[in-house]
Structure 1
Amino acid sequence: MTCFPFSFKKTSTISKHNLDNDEDISGIHNVKIYTYKELRKATDDFSQANKIGEGGFGSVYMGRLKGGKLAAIKVLSAESRQGVKEFLTEINVISEIQHENLVKLYGCCVERNNRILVYNYLENNSLSRTLLGGSHNSIYFDWGTRCRICVGVASGLAFLHEEVRPPIIHRDIKASNILLDKDLTPKISDFGLAKLMPANATHVSTRVAGTLGYLAPEYAIGGRLTRKADIYSFGVLLVEIVSGRCNTNSRLPIEEQFILERTWELYERKELVALVDTSLNGEFDAEQACKFLKIGLLCTQESPKCRPSMSSVVKMLTGEMDVNDSTLTKPALISDFMDLKVRKNQESTTMDLKTSSSSYNTFSTSEQQDSTITSAATAQYDHSM
Structure 2
Amino acid sequence: MGQDLKGLDLQTGLFTLRQIRAATNNFDVSNKVGEGGFGSVYKGLLSDGNQLLLVYEYMENNSLARALFGSEECQLKLDWTTRHKICVGIARGLAYLHEESRLKIVHRDIKATNVLLDKYLNPKISDFGLAKLDEEDNTHISTRIAGTYFGVVTLEIVSGRSNTSHRPKEEPFNLLDWAHLLKEEGNLIKLVDPRLGSDYNKEEVMVVIHVALLCTNVSSAARPTMSSVVSMLEGNIIVPDLVSDMSLLHDEMKAKELQKYYQINEEINMSESSRRTMSTDGPWTATSSSAADLYPINPESGLLENRF
Q: TM-score, normalised by structure 1?
A: 0.56
Aligned to 2:202: 286
Contact 1:193 1:356 in 2 (8 A): no
Match of 2:18 in 1: 67
Q: Name the structure 1 match of 2:138.
A: 202
Give distance in 1, aligned partners of 2:235 and 2:97. 22
Unaligned runs of 5+ in 2: 21-31, 249-286, 296-308
Q: What's the CA shift string for 1:110-152, capped at 9, x where partnerless? A: 9999775432111111101112214133421000000111001
Out of 40, 43, 68, the position equivalent to 1:131 is 68
Relative to structure 1, is the Cα distance of residues 301 and 97 closer, same or farther in structure 2, using a 3 angstrom cutoff?
farther
SS of match in other structure, 2:292: coil
One-letter amino acid matched to 1:121: Y
**Matches of 2:51 and 2:40, distance apart in 1:** 21
Asked if 2 retains the 8 angstrom alpha-carbon contact of 1:124 and 1:184, the reply is yes
- Counterpart CA distance in 2 for 1:104 and 1:122 is 14
Match of 1:315 in 2: 231
C-alpha distance in structure 2 between counterparts of 1:332 and 1:115, whole Å: 49
Question: How many corresponding residue pairs?
Answer: 246
**Corresponding residue of 2:212:** 296
Paired residues of 2:152 and 2:176 also in contact (CA < 8 A)? yes
Post-superposition Cα deviations, 1:203-229, rounded to whole Å, max 9, x if no partner, equal 59xxxxxxxxxxxxxxxxxxxx61111
Q: Are 1:166 and 2:103 matched, yes or no?
A: yes
255 and 46 in structure 1: CA distance in 2 versus 1, 3 angstrom threshold: closer
Higher relative strand content: 1
Q: Counterpart in 1 of 2:245?
A: 330
Indicate the RMSD between aligned Cα atoms, in angstroms. 3.6
Matched ranges for 1:236-251 at <5 A: 236-251=152-167
Deviates more, 1:136-145 or 1:261-270: 136-145
- Find the counterpart in structure 2 of residue 359 from structure 1: 291
AA in 2 matched with 1:135: E
In structure 1, give the amino acid aligned to 2:16. Answer: L
- Could you say which residue in structure 2 is the equivalent of 1:140? 77
Report the CA distance between 1:98 and its aligned residue. 2.1
User: Which position in structure 1 is the counterpart of 2:6?
Assistant: 47
**1:240–1:247 Cα contact (<8 Å) kept:** yes
Q: Are residues 108 and 237 of structure 1, via their aligned partners in 2, closer, same or farther at CA, if it must alter by over 3 Å?
A: farther
* Mapped partners of 1:134, 1:290: distance in 2: 28
- More contact order relative to length (CA 8 Å, sep ≥ 6): 2
Matched to 2:138, the amino acid is: T
Runs of 4+ aligned residues of structure 1 deviating over 4 Å after TM superposition are 42-46, 58-64, 103-117, 250-257
TM-superposition CA deviations, 1:24-62 (whole Å, max 9, x none): xxxxxxxxxxxxxxxxxx9479521xx4xxxxxx84989
Partner of 1:192: 129
3-state SS of 2:232 partner? helix
- In 2, the alpha carbon distance for the partners of 1:357 and 1:194 equals 15
Distance 1:276 1:109 in 2: 49
Q: Give the Cα–Cα distance (whole angstroms) in 2 for the partners of residues 320 and 244 of structure 1.
A: 26
CA separation of 1:62 and 1:229: change in aligned 2, threshold 3 A = farther
Q: Secondary structure at the residue paired with 1:274?
A: helix
- Distance in 1 of aligned mates of 2:172 and 2:19: 48
